[in-house]
């Protein structure tokens, strides 16, 4: 019995560390890999970022979405929030009738008819507007489909740091 207690005592710190890592990764943060060119030039294909599962979602945040349309994970930028009205005319985005300072757009933004964003949903676009499959194609995304926000690139090391 003493041998069993000794083994348990030696293993306990490792069990605690593994449990904490699993809990953090499951409920707080986890790595995510960018796939495809839809967020160029802000994010590049293959970038590894940290997904924050607890953050509040604001306009221009980069979010990770579990898309039921593609059965895949999408990384996009929040453009319109719940309850707002969005319209894109001649490539210019209007939120609640006011022109949006869209400093992240790369390429021409295709037009979107005037629509009100339902409560609890978000309108998202990729920064590379000409190749991005986003809310212009799929419609809005529910809060429950958004897994969190991402702002920090881990890899490659030459792109290490915060993005906005």
Strands laid side by side in the 98-99 sheet = 98-99, 92-95, 85-89, 112-116
Selected catalytic residue, list 76, 110, 135, 142: 76
Residue 69 is given by DSSP the state T
24-30: Cβ within 8 A, 24+ apart: 27/53, 27/54, 28/52, 28/53, 28/54, 29/53
Selected catalytic residue, list 5, 9, 35, 38: 38
Cα–Cα–Cα angle for 94, 58, 65, rounded to 5 degrees: 95
The neighbour count for residue 116, using CB atoms within 10 Å, is 13
- Beta carbons within 8 Å of 88's beta carbon, 6+ residues apart: 94, 109, 110, 111, 112, 136
Specify whether 143 is catalytic. no
Specify whether 38 is catalytic. yes
Catalytic residues: 38, 76
């Amino acid at each position: 019995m003493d041998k069993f207690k000794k083994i348990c005592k030696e293993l306990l710190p490792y069990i605690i560390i593994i449990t904490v890592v699993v809990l953090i990764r499951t409920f707080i943060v986890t790595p995510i890999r960018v796939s495809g060119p839809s967020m160029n030039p802000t994010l590049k294909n293959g970038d590894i970022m940290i997904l924050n599962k607890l953050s509040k979602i604001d306009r221009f945040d980069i979010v990770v979405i579990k898309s039921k349309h593609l059965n895949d994970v999408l990384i996009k930028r929040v453009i319109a929030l719940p309850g707002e009205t969005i319209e894109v005319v001649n490539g210019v985005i209007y939120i609640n009738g006011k022109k949006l300072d869209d400093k992240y757009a790369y390429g021409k933004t295709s037009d979107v008819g005037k629509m009100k964003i339902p409560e609890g949903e978000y309108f998202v676009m990729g920064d590379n507007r000409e190749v991005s499959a986003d809310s212009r194609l799929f419609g809005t995304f529910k809060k429950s489909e958004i897994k969190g926000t991402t702002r920090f690139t881990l890899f490659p090391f030459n792109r290490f740091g915060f993005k906005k």
